[in-house]
Amino acid sequence: MVTATRREGSNACKLARRQESGKRRCAAVMAVYLAAPVGEGTTVDAAGAQRAEPRPMRVLLQRVARAEVRIREPSGARVSGRIDRGFVLLVGFTHVDDEVRVAWMAEKVVGLRLFADADDKMNLALADVGGALLVVSQFTLYGNAEKGRRPSFIDAARPEQAIPLYERFLALLRGHGLPVECGEFGAMMDVELVNDGPVTLWLER
């Protein structure tokens, strides 16, 4: 009987500790929620850890020595855009993107100082080196491969929304007086480039 009583007491203590641990985890989760307001791009998992949510408008930027995009056609490949020194931008849009985000991204791209100055430091922007832009639409930037082996692209904006945003992005870039070449939205394309560095940035807004 003494042994049984001790065992019961031990089990009661373990249960109490688990309950107390659960209370502490719950308190931790609530503290994170209170510290990160809704809409700040943060979610909280069951353990109370913060995780960044996918953000709108994505651009994969590569600094290049030269680049070219060709459109695949039944009669053969047609060159749609070609640049020498500059940036290649693979651009994707999602459902919540708007002109404000597009304008922010255009300003960010043209202002980035990714070219070397006389001291071999990244200190010069596109305009400083006479660079150009090659912009290619890329909905697969929103591919989600967390489940299964076939990516889901449900987060990518549909063409009726993405095309006006894409065209506006091109217009804003050209408005800065920079040479801008581009691919063709929705077409099958071959993109050929020489990454200089290599230098590659992932931009989100």
Q: Is 50 a catalytic residue?
A: no
- Pair of tokens at residue 32: 């994170």
Name the H helices within the chain.
2-35, 99-111, 126-129, 159-174
Give every CB contact of residue 194 below 8 A, 6+ residues apart in sequence: 64, 65, 66, 67
Nearest by Cα to 66 from 90, 94, 37, 87 = 87
Of 62, 87, 94, 138, the catalytic one is 138
Q: Is 140 a catalytic residue?
A: yes
Which helix (H) or strand (E) covers residue 202, if one does? strand 189-204
Of 140, 153, 161, 169, the catalytic one is 140
Rounded to whole angstroms, the Cα distance separating 60 from 138 reads 9
Of 87, 93, 115, 139, the catalytic one is 139
128 near 191, Cβ under 8 Å? no
Which helix (H) or strand (E) covers residue 68, if one does? strand 58-73
Residues classed as catalytic: 138-140
